[in-house]
Amino acid sequence: SQTIHQWPATLVQPVGSPLSLECTVEGTSNPNLYWYRQAAGRGLQLLFYSVGIGQISSEVPQNLSASRPQDRQFILSSKKLLLSDSGFYLCAWEPPTSGFTDTQYFGPGTRLTVL
Amino acid sequence: GQNIDQPTEMTATEGAIVQINCTYQTSGFNGLFWYQQHAGEAPTFLSYNVLDGLEEKGRFSSFLSRSKGYSYLLLKELQMKDSASYLCAVLDSNYQLIWGAGTKLIIKP
């Protein structure tokens, strides 16, 4: 069966510090991978998605970046965090597709607080 | 622009029935998802509709009308554990998921 992991679960960082959040998927090959952010009481905001190694699409301009160094590894990074980067970060995967998409399955999330 | 509308919050009584509505205006349509999200946790998949009509899955049912840009999630025999946020999401013509802000459902004994 497929599982998705995210770490850390909780993170408190000062403004201006770097960030690295990691997401890994097990039990599947070539998944589509997504990073979302959810502010308190708000909906999900798509940040990045990837359909393969080294292929990253960005949905919103920001000080965040993403990388996919391996097939089942997706990393969200920042060189300098802003207060507005606080939120609940969710990684999701879906089976590889041929023109249509399937259900997205979410990892447990990382709660980031920037002080 | 693309838009998904859901009520912000609803309250219902344990054992009752509740209907959570979702209306959408998107560039194309390739299906609508409902997810459940308990406080502090990740969303979990509930249902997917791409054709008009009602899909029933146990205590939960989801309805879609593509001509009206409308869906609802129906929860029967409410239990306290159903207290959660319910997220509506639409797959647009580019196969990107557009998310609603979610409806917080509060169940009272």
Segment B83-98, tens digit of pLDDT: 999 999 998 888 788 8
Mean pLDDT in residue range A66-75: 96
- Tell me the one-letter amino acid at A81: L
- What is the structure's pLDDT at A100? 46
Question: Of all residues in chain B, what percent carry a pLDDT higher than 70?
Answer: 100
A78 close to A86: Cβ distance less than 8 angstroms: no
Mean pLDDT, chain A, rounded, equals 89
- What is the structure's pLDDT at A61? 63
Residues of chain A contacting B, Cβ within 8 Å: 41-46, 90, 97, 99-101, 103-109, 111
B88 close to B69: Cβ distance less than 8 angstroms: no
Mean pLDDT in residue range A84-109: 82
The residue in chain A having the minimum alpha-carbon distance to the alpha carbon of residue B6 is A43
Residue B4, burial from CB neighbour count under 10 angstroms (0-12, 13-18, 19+): buried
CB spacing of B41 vs A103 below 8 angstroms: no
CA B56/CA B53 separation, integer angstroms: 10
The residues, any chain, with a CB within 8 Å of residue A79's CB and separated by 6 or more, are: A18, A63
Residue ranges in chain B whose pLDDT is less than 50: none
A80-95 per-position pLDDT tens digit: 999 999 999 999 998 8
